[in-house]
Amino acid sequence: MPFWELQRQLGIDVDRWLLRQSMAQPYGKAAACHAFEREWVECGHGLGQTRARRECQPEYEDFMECMHRTKLAVRLRTILEQRDKMIKEGKYTPPDYHKGKEEPRP
């Protein structure tokens, strides 16, 4: 067939936007979120788009969290706000190495 591997022959990669982590990686190692993307794709395989969105929502959320780390950022912001509040109230004093006042190392 003349159209086999047309993308490779033209030097384009349309699949890059469909599967971010499953595409060929440098040094042949799997990407960080490859397992989460694979679970999401396997869950939705053979289902319609509407049904897959409903039934595979946990897998999709795990994949998006691995890619963007939004829940982690919110959690860290909450922790830092709580720390600042405790410092302001005088209930917590950070150690010297967190203040940048540690002794110089040789």
Q: What is the pLDDT of residues 36-74, one digit of tens each?
A: 988 998 998 888 888 988 999 999 999 999 989 999 999
pLDDT at 41: 87
Contacts of 92 (CB under 8 A, 6+ apart): 83, 86
Q: What is the pLDDT of residues 5-34, one digit of tens each?
A: 666 677 776 655 555 565 666 667 777 888
Distance of CA 26 to the CA centre of its chain: 18
- Provide the whole-model pTM: 0.63
